């Protein structure tokens, strides 16, 4: 496996990102109360719309902001457990990739040069991982209906 990472770093990081993101999404889906999380996010959105409507009434704005502040901590509380579950394995995987692919290696080269940076501009393993995990996460969250 280590040989595959060093010979095909772009494909390796993309596959690792796919697998880790899928597992993380499953953990979030089954360790959070999805119904409650969806309801809280809808309530937050509703209060934000109310703020726009009542922006000229300072007393009403303060009242809505107080309710919004109370609600805004709820999603964080609901997602703390899966965050703790996934953090340690993710850090181990990141350390393993970092030891396999040097940070200065560009594995996705840009088709253009960035001034003052030089000819060897592009993304290393961490940049590729972040971009691919954001894409995969969006896809998996839509397919698995994770809120």
Q: Enter the tokens of residue 84.
A: 């703790």
pTM recorded for the entire structure: 0.79
Reading the chain (147 residues) residue by residue, the pLDDT tens digits are 667 777 889 999 999 999 999 999 999 999 999 999 999 999 999 999 998 888 888 888 898 998 899 888 899 998 999 999 999 999 999 999 988 888 778 888 887 777 766 566 788 899 899 999 999 999 999 999 998
**Count, residues in the chain:** 147
Listed by start position, the domains of the chain span 2-144
Determine contact, residues 1/13, Cβ cutoff 8 Å: no
Determine contact, residues 125/101, Cβ cutoff 8 Å: yes
Nearest 5°: phi and psi at 36?
Answer: -65, -40
Q: State the alpha helices, DSSP H only, in the chain.
A: 2-7, 9-31, 34-53, 58-72, 74-100, 125-144
């Amino acid at each position: 496996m280590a040989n595959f990472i060093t010979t095909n770093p772009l494909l390796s990081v993309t596959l690792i990102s796919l697998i880790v993101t899928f597992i993380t999404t499953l953990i979030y889906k089954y360790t959070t109360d999805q119904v409650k999380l969806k309801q809280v996010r809808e309530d937050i959105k509703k209060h934000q719309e109310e703020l726009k409507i009542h922006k000229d009434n300072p007393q009403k704005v303060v009242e809505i902001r107080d309710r919004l502040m109370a609600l805004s901590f709820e999603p964080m509380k609901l997602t703390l457990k899966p965050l703790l579950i996934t953090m340690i394995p993710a850090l181990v995987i990141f350390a393993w990739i970092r030891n396999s692919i040097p940070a200065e290696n560009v594995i996705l080269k840009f088709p253009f040069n960035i001034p003052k940076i030089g000819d060897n501009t592009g993304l290393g393993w961490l940049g590729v991982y972040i971009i691919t995990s954001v894409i995969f996460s969006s896809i998996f969250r839509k397919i698995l209906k994770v809120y």
